[in-house]
């Protein structure tokens, strides 16, 4: 998609799909190897994401795995106030997003640390797979005021419902003056295993919304439950789905394994360039 994000004056083009590397500053994320809590580990992961070809660093301080209990807003802010200065010190000009569902956290990270993108996993504090979901209007108002790109994630369970939900969200966001919007079908949220694959199969239909599409399937349970393995054993199958997602129009891949995702982008781009 020929779309450009304005990230605090840094222009990020999506004509070539981009890779968002996950940096978790939590003790309980579902994939153990993604947990980074010491200063050394955070700095190392920050450089690893960029050295392997990632262009966005996605910092998360509140685990969103389905069986987790969200930490308090104060604890989430404390973790981010520890991690973000390290990220900014190590790579001052990198594009940084923060993964949160709390408007006050979004305000804090943008105003205090100049975070470029808010990656919203949904308004409901109930993170169970089949939690009900309504438009997060408080977050909509906050990001519209902050004027940063915003990733809206749908918890709906069919392609049609996801598209209707996203269309409604976009209308509300536009009415509030929000400019850059990225859509996330929400794999692993509000969907059974079968519904995840039904939505994935129809992914290309979301291009009708004419907005960038973020796909985050990295090592998720939709992979390892299907295959009877563990998150640690789910890299190869993640790569398969990332490749298919790119062929179906994904503009951003959110991943734990940056190098492998960048290779997916290079391979699919080469195929597209063949005359």
Strand 150-153 and strand 117-120: the pairing is parallel
pLDDT at 62: 85
Predicted pLDDT at 65: 63
How sure is the predictor about 225, in pLDDT bands with cuts at 50, 70 and 90? very high
If one compares 45 and 123, the residue with the highest pLDDT of the two is 45
173 close to 181: Cβ distance less than 8 angstroms: yes
Average pLDDT value for residue range 240-259? 97
pLDDT in tens, 140-173: 999 999 999 999 999 999 999 999 999 999 999 9
Confidence of residue 1 (pLDDT cuts 50, 70, 90): confident
- pLDDT above 90 covers a percentage of the chain that reads 80
In which residue are the tokens 């360039």 written?
273
pLDDT given for residue 129 in this prediction: 42
Kind of pairing between the strands at 150-153 and 181-184: parallel
**Three-state secondary structure call for residue 3:** coil
The pLDDT score that the predictor gives to residue 71 is: 85
Contact at 8 Å (CB) between 48 and 91? no
Q: Which pLDDT does position 83 carry in this prediction?
A: 94
- pLDDT of 131 reads 44
What pLDDT is attached to residue 66? Answer: 60
Dihedrals phi, psi of 31, to nearest 5 degrees: -105, 105
Q: How many CB atoms lie within 10 A of CB 230?
A: 11
Active site residue 160: no
213: DSSP letter: B
Contact by Cβ (8 Å): 91, 57: yes
Catalytic residue among 45, 102, 156, 254: 254
From 220, 225, 248, 266, the catalytic residue: 220
Between CA 163 and CA 147 the distance in angstroms is: 24
Model confidence over 92-147: pLDDT tens digits? Answer: 899 999 999 999 999 999 999 999 999 998 644 444 444 445 788 999 999 999 99
pLDDT at position 98 is 97
Q: Quote the pTM value.
A: 0.91
Kindly list the distances between the CA atom of residue 49 and the CA atoms of 54, 182, 228, in Å, as whole numbers in the listed order: 5, 21, 29
Q: Which two tokens stand for residue 272?
A: 């597209």
């Amino acid at each position: 998609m020929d779309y450009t994000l304005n990230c605090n004056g840094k222009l990020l083009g999506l004509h070539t799909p981009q890779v968002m590397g996950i940096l978790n500053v939590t003790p309980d994320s579902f994939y153990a190897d993604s947990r980074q809590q010491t200063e050394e580990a955070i700095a190392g992961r920050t450089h690893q994401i960029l050295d392997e070809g990632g262009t966005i660093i996605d910092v998360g301080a509140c685990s969103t795995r389905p069986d987790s209990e969200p930490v308090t807003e104060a604890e989430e802010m404390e973790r981010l106030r520890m991690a973000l200065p390290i990220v900014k010190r190590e790579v001052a000009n990198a594009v940084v997003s923060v993964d949160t569902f709390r408007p006050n956290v979004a305000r804090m990270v943008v105003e205090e640390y100049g975070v470029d993108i808010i990656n919203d996993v949904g308004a409901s504090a109930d993170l169970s797979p089949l939690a009900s979901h309504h438009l997060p209007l408080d977050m909509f108002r906050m990001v519209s005021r902050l004027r940063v790109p915003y990733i809206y994630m749908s918890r709906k369970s069919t392609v049609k419902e996801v598209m209707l939900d996203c269309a409604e969200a976009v209308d509300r966001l536009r009415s509030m003056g929000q400019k850059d919007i990225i859509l996330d079908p929400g794999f692993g949220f509000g969907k059974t295993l079968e519904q995840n694959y039904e939505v994935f199969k129809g992914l290309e239909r979301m291009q009708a919304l004419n907005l960038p599409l973020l796909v985050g399937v990295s090592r998720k349970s939709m992979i390892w439950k299907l295959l009877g393995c563990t998150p640690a054993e789910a890299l190869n199958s993640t790569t398969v789905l990332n490749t298919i997602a790119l062929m179906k129009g994904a503009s951003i891949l959110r991943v734990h394994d940056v190098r492998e995702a960048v290779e997916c982008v290079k391979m699919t781009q080469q195929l597209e360039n063949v005359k």
